[in-house]
């Protein structure tokens, strides 16, 4: 995708060279429930507000041409342990998001994909998800990866299982298994690893998110809960990333 001219970028980022931008941003959207409780509201109100923030940040990433991919941690495989009422609301919210945001995604030229296990997700949600994925398949702007029923360890297990079956079938030698072959069997196969991992609500952990893919990602944490996250906070994360020196295990020359 061609880079936007600096004039089209926000003033806080207009001076950053294109090569200093993260091409792929991943976000752990944390703190919805805690934000709601601080406001004296039910936890579900935080999830509802968080959905509006997803729209704003997705649109902003789609507008900022150097950014090519955005991966959002929507529902972890561990989230199924939450109360049934909250899970039901989350599924309803996800379904409504897919329906309501579809025209906006098409307008913004966003391509949508899912990463995670489909098992356990209600059929009505999968229907809307598949519809959005299929309708947006020809879009060539921002790629939005929705991590739903996702767990990093489970992803690696699924990749290892797939490779094991190939070995059993005589299609692959155990000695030929390397980092590249494992990456090709992850949910994110064919997509670049994240450059920048953002976590909200001040938590200093990765929570089983993209364990393989974030090996060399730059991590940026904000004390803001996800419902408080906004475009200015995103810009601050990008600017901080641009000022870092990525060595990938090597030394600065």
Please list the active-site residues. Answer: 30, 79
Q: Is 33 annotated in some ligand binding site?
A: yes
CB of 74 closer than 8 Å to CB of 115: no
Q: Is 3 left (phi over 0), alpha (psi -120 to 50) or beta?
A: beta
Read out DSSP for 41-64? --HHHHHHHHHHHHHHHHHHHHHS
Sign of CA dihedral 17, 18, 23, 28: positive
Q: Is 23 annotated in some ligand binding site?
A: no
Q: For residue 47, give the nearest of 70, 25, 29, 72 by alpha carbon.
A: 29
Q: Is 170 annotated in some ligand binding site?
A: no
What is the per-residue burial (b if ≥16 Cβ within 10 Å, else e) of 54-77?
beebbbbbbbbbbbbbbbbbbbbb
Q: Is 78 annotated in some ligand binding site?
A: yes
Phi, psi (deg, nearest 5) at residue 175: -70, -15
Q: Is 80 annotated in some ligand binding site?
A: yes
Q: Is 199 annotated in some ligand binding site?
A: yes
Q: Is 5 annotated in some ligand binding site?
A: no
Q: Is 12 annotated in some ligand binding site?
A: no
Q: Is 220 annotated in some ligand binding site?
A: no
Q: Is 226 annotated in some ligand binding site?
A: no
The C-alpha atoms of residue 93 and residue 125 are separated, in whole angstroms, by 10
The C-alpha atoms of residue 41 and residue 73 are separated, in whole angstroms, by 23
Q: For residue 50, give the nearest of 241, 196, 201, 203 by alpha carbon.
A: 201
In eight-state DSSP terms, residue 154 is H
The C-alpha atoms of residue 125 and residue 132 are separated, in whole angstroms, by 11
Q: Is 162 annotated in some ligand binding site?
A: no
Q: Is 82 annotated in some ligand binding site?
A: yes
Binding-site annotation, residues for Mg(2+)? 30, 218
Binding-site annotation, residues? 30-35, 43, 47, 76-78, 80, 82, 199, 205-207, 218
Binding-site annotation, residues for substrate? 31-35, 43, 47, 76-78, 80, 82, 199, 205-207
């Amino acid at each position: 995708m061609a880079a936007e001219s600096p004039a089209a970028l926000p003033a806080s980022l207009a001076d950053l060279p294109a090569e200093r931008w993260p091409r792929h941003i991943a976000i752990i959207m944390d703190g919805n429930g805690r934000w709601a409780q601080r406001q004296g509201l039910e936890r579900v109100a935080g999830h509802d507000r968080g959905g509006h923030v997803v729209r704003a940040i997705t649109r902003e990433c789609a507008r900022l041409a150097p950014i090519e991919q955005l991966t959002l941690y929507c529902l972890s495989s561990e989230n199924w342990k939450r109360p049934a009422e909250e899970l039901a609301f989350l599924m309803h919210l996800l379904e409504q998001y897919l329906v309501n945001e579809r025209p906006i995604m098409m307008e913004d030229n966003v391509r949508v994909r899912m990463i995670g296990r489909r098992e356990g997700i209600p059929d009505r949600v999968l229907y809307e998800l598949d519809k959005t994925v299929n309708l947006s398949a020809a879009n060539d702007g921002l790629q939005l990866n929705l991590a739903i029923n996702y767990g990093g360890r489970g992803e690696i297990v699924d990749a290892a299982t797939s490779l094991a079956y190939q070995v059993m079938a005589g299609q692959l030698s155990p000695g030929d298994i390397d980092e590249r072959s494992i990456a090709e069997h992850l949910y994110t196969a064919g997509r670049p690893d994240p450059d920048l991992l953002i976590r909200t609500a001040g938590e200093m952990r990765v929570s089983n998110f993209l364990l393989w893919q974030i090996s060399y990602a730059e991590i940026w944490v904000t004390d803001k809960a996800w419902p408080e996250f906004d475009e200015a906070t995103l810009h601050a994360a990008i600017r901080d990333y641009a000022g870092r020196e990525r060595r990938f295990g090597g030394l600065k020359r």
